[in-house]
Structures are given as C-alpha cells and as structure tokens.
C-alpha cells in the first residue's frame, strides 16, 4: 500500500513562545504529508471532486506526542496507508528528526472518509482505490 516520506523545516511560525512546535501544528504537518503522498501517485485533492465526484474528510484522528520539535529542526514525516475500505482510508504517520537519530517525535493515526459534494458518505472510486493500494 501507499507509503511516502517528506521533510519539513520548522519555522518560527510553527512554534510557540519558547521555540517548541505548537501541538496543533503536528496536525498541519500530517495533512501536508497526506496531500503529498496522494500527489505522488497522481491524485490531486483539488481535482478529486471535479473529476471523481468525491473528496476526503477527516473522520477520526489520534496523536501521541513523544518529544518536541524545535525551531529550525528538519523533520521527516512518514505516511503509510494502513487500511483501505469501501468508503475510507486509514493512514499511520510518524514524525522524526532526520534519519530517526533523534527518535520519534509524534505519531498519528488518521481515518479519512470519502464523501460526495453534499458531504454524504460515498464509495471510494475503484481507480483511486487501485492507485492507493498499489
């Protein structure tokens, strides 16, 4: 199934007053990484609704914080699809310092559901499911 890795520099805007990444920003980092993982297999989120009549919505998420990232750190965000169902996709995501030498900073589990333009549940189109599961 789909796996992806990307890096992100921690900027001042990502941190709190003492230079530690503000906890809610880890959600933003994971969102960026999920979007890039889909883009890496040719799925562009802005075009999903137009081309396939569906979009993804976050249904459930959980985060576990291990260590803080700090101003100017370069973090790696690893994303892996753990499950694809009829109308949902589950991602497991981990955020590390470079080459994992600094250890795990944060881990996330995110369940996305597939919805139509009216925000009603819809099946994941077969072509998208095939690309994600490849």
Across the beta sheet with 88-96, the strand order is 3-9, 74-84, 88-96, 104-115, 55-65
**Catalytic residue (one of 14, 16, 72, 99):** 16
14 is catalytic: no
Looking at the predicted structure, is the pLDDT value of residue 100 above 80? no
What is the pLDDT confidence band of residue 102, given thresholds at 50, 70 and 90?
confident
pLDDT for residue 30: 98
pLDDT for residue 101: 74
3-state secondary structure of 117: coil
Structure tokens at 125: 């189109």
Q: What is the mean pLDDT of residues 2-28?
A: 96
In this structure, whether the domain defined by 3-133 belongs to CATH 3.40.50.1220 is answered with no
What is the pLDDT confidence band of residue 119, given thresholds at 50, 70 and 90?
very high
pLDDT for residue 95: 97
Looking at the predicted structure, is the pLDDT value of residue 84 above 90? yes
Residue ranges covered by each domain of the chain: 3-133
Between CA 116 and CA 124 the distance in angstroms is 10
3-state secondary structure of 91: strand
């Amino acid at each position: 199934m789909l796996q992806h890795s990307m890096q992100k520099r921690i900027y001042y805007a990502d941190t709190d007053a003492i230079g530690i990444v503000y906890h809610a920003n880890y959600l933003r980092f994971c969102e960026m990484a999920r979007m890039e993982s889909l883009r890496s297999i040719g799925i562009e989120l802005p075009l999903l609704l137009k081309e396939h009549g569906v979009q993804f919505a976050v249904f459930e998420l959980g985060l576990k914080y291990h260590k803080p990232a700090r101003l100017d750190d370069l973090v790696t965000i690893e994303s892996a699809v753990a499950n694809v169902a009829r109308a949902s996709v589950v991602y497991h995501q981990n955020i590390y310092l470079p080459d994992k030498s600094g250890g795990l900073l944060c881990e996330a589990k995110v369940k996305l559901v597939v919805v139509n333009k009216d925000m009603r549940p819809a099946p994941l189109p077969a072509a998208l499911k095939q690309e994600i599961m490849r």
